[in-house]
Structure 1
């Protein structure tokens, strides 16, 4: 028998949107490239928050590319809100991975070229 008082509800798996962009210049790109990424990340984060579909969780620069991370309960809904902001970044090649669940070898994912 379950007791709502003692048994926490099961947490739904967290989906992810992981966007990867190739940058020019050095390992961390040029300063103007980083500025564009930060602006797009802030804008996407505001729209994601307003839509209630998750959160933009940050970025990682290095190796001549940048990766932007976002998490929420529905990767497709999260990507739909982020898509205009990601497509507006001029850096190519670029792609997005939609991960449908927690990280793992058997989790479903989908790659979308930008």
Structure 2
């Protein structure tokens, strides 16, 4: 008799798309900039969900920039779903890091300028 508990396939490592935008104003950007980010994040989250490629996990404001985090099984598919919404944000300089696997020193990543 086989124990099916040990026959389960391993989960694929989680990939990430991490988008970083420079903001103006104080450390957290201007109120209208934050509003644009929140609107874009909702739109990007809906696109990611509709494509079934992962989830947008939130943002982090500080140090004159905002970072938007998203996770899923395929960083390239996740970025394809997110890219139109990310490119619509007017803040520059900006870039995205596609991380192919769990966070760690030896994980492969790719930087894309927006």
TM-score by length of 2: 0.96
Aligned: 1:31 with 2:31 = yes
Q: Distance in 1 between matches of 2:2 and 2:20?
A: 43
Structure 1 residue runs of 4 or more that deviate by more than 6 Å after TM superposition? none
Which residue number corresponds to residue 91 of structure 2? Answer: 91
| Residues matched between the structures, number | 113
1:3 Cα offset (Å): 2.5
What secondary structure, in the 3-state scheme, does the structure 2 residue paired with 1:58 have?
A: strand
Q: Distance in 1 between matches of 2:2 and 2:46?
A: 39
What secondary structure, in the 3-state scheme, does the structure 1 residue paired with 2:12 have?
A: coil
Q: CA RMSD in A?
A: 1.2
Q: Distance in 2 between matches of 1:3 and 1:82?
A: 41
Higher helix residue share: 2
